[in-house]
Structure 1
Amino acid sequence: MLHILFVCTGNTCRSPMAEGLLRKLARERGIDVEVRSAGVSAISGTSISRHAAGILQDEGIDDRIVSSQLTGEAVHWADLVLTLTGGHKRHLLQYFPDAVNKTYTLKEYVHTQESVNADIRELDSLYADAELSISLGGEPSAADLQRIIEIRQRIPSFDISDPFGGSREDYELTAAEIRTALYSLLDKLESLRRL
């Protein structure tokens, strides 16, 4: 069974919607996954937003999702960590650089253009090396920092919009964005399962 962890900021909007929707959609397709979510700045035990809860209820999802702070245990548990923005991914890799080979934004993980995917892999490696240098009391090389800038300038944004504080319509748009990415994720998981 594949363990998937979704990560956003407060774990009250985007990642709980992704968690609930993926659990339902995977079950409908017969794909065996276990799904959790967490937030880089979450207060554990907080209820998810009423609009996120309403969207999940409209989908027939009655999971009792409450927010969880991102922990090392959750990262270790996951086979695949999918963040909702590049900022969440960078934050996670700052604290858990050993998770670099299993951490992606949701949209980049399902992206299929190989040249962009190669840039993303190189960028992740450069970030992990920079964090390791800093944690050992050193500094990243000037060449590595320049390379990070070059790559970041050509990679498209893979962020899912943040509906926090917005209207029900804002949450619907974000849910649609997540749902589209989840369909691609399930397609990818099905093709990997056939290999």
Structure 2
Amino acid sequence: MNRVLIVCTGNTCRSPMAEVMLKDLAARGGKPLEVRSAGVSAVNGQPISPHAAATLRKRSLELPGTSTALSGDEVAWAHLILTMTAGHKRAILQRYPEAVAKTFTMKEYALRGDPVMDDVAEAERLYSEWQVRQALGQNLTAEEHARLFELQRRIPDFDIADPFGGSLSMYERCADELEDILLTLVDKLDGKSTEQ
């Protein structure tokens, strides 16, 4: 059975909403998943935000438990770690570099197999090359710079905006965005362990 950990900042808004929504979608699709959520800056035991709770109730979904701080135990438990932003992904990989093969932003994982991911891989390769050359006192060629900027314009934003402190409608828009991503993502999860 796949064990999926969904991560945001405080584990009171985005990740608990995504946790509950993914559990529901997996159950309706007959996919055996275990889903948890945590926050890179969370304090254990905080309740879900009132607007997140209202958003989930409006969708007739059960409310999750209280917040969980990201820990090595949570990272080790998960076969797949999905983050709300690239910043969350970086924070996890700085603390737990061993999780690199199983950590993705939600949008990045949902787009696996999409041609845009070829652009992402090429951009990452060019960025890496640029960093190496800068360390050696060199630079990218004009053509490489132009290609990198072209790729930057084409690559979508992989972050899901934080509704924290916003209106109920902001939370509902966030939940709509999460649902769209999760509908794509759940089809990529077959219920078997994705552990490498």
Partner of 1:88: 88
The verdict on how the C-alpha distance between 1:114 and 1:61 changes in structure 2, with shifts beyond 3 A counting, is closer
Tell me the CA shift for residue 156 of structure 1.
2.4
Q: Hey, what's the Cα distance between the residues in 2 that align with 1:77 and 1:126?
A: 33
Q: Which runs of 5+ in 2 are unaligned?
A: none
TM-score, length basis structure 2:
0.80
Does the alignment pair 1:171 with 2:161? no
Matches within 5 A, 1:17-166: 17-112=17-112, 114-118=114-118, 120=120, 141-142=132-133, 150=148, 153=152, 155-166=155-166
Tell me the CA shift for residue 161 of structure 1.
1.3
Code of the aligned partner of 1:3: R
Tell me the CA shift for residue 189 of structure 1.
2.0
Q: Hey, what's the Cα distance between the residues in 2 that align with 1:85 and 1:118?
A: 20
Q: Is the 8 A contact 1:100 1:124 kept in 2?
A: no
Q: Is the 8 A contact 2:7 2:39 kept in 1?
A: yes
Name the count of aligned residue pairs.
181
Q: Is the 8 A contact 2:2 2:191 kept in 1?
A: no
Larger radius of gyration: 2
Tell me the CA shift for residue 48 of structure 1.
0.8
* Structure with the higher fraction of residues in helix conformation: 1
Relative contact order: is structure 1 or structure 2 higher (C-alpha 8 Å, sep ≥ 6)? 2
Quote the RMSD (CA, aligned, Å): 3.0
- Could you tell me the percent identity over the aligned residues? 49
Code of the aligned partner of 1:4: V
Q: Is the 8 A contact 2:123 2:152 kept in 1?
A: no
Tell me the CA shift for residue 26 of structure 1.
0.7
Q: Hey, what's the Cα distance between the residues in 1 that align with 2:126 and 2:43?
A: 31
